[in-house]
């Protein structure tokens, strides 16, 4: 579910991801990004310690594949946190 605050956030059990625009570029931020496996070496660290970003300058097929890959990882992380909370 997308929630709109200052930036649009995607929420499942917790905040998973958000979109922002900086300097004319779209940034997709992952709230638990520090814990995501960055095997594609596309995540960037910026000002927030735990958050990792993908900066999107143009949309191509490869961009969509990268975004889908990291969104799946972020959702899996969210589900893992939900399971840990239950135990």
What pLDDT sits at residue 72?
95
Q: Where are the beta strands (DSSP E) in 1-87?
A: 2-4, 8-11, 15-22, 25-30, 44-45, 52-56
Residues β-bridged to residue 27: 20, 55
**Residue 9 burial (CB count, 10 A):** 17
pTM: 0.83
* Structure confidence by residue, pLDDT tens digits, 5-52: 667 878 888 889 999 888 889 999 999 999 999 999 999 999 889 999
What pLDDT sits at residue 29?
95
Sign of the CA dihedral with 82 first, then 36, 29, and 65 last: negative
* Structure confidence by residue, pLDDT tens digits, 65-78: 999 999 999 999 99
């Amino acid at each position: 579910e997308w929630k709109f605050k200052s930036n649009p956030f995607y929420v499942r059990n917790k905040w998973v991801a958000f979109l922002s625009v900086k300097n004319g570029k779209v940034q997709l931020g992952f709230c638990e990004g520090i814990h995501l496996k960055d095997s594609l070496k596309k995540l960037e660290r910026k000002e927030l310690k735990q958050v990792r970003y993908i900066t999107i300058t143009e949309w191509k097929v490869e961009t969509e594949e990268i975004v889908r890959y990291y969104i799946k990882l972020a959702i899996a992380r969210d589900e893992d946190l939900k399971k840990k909370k239950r135990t």
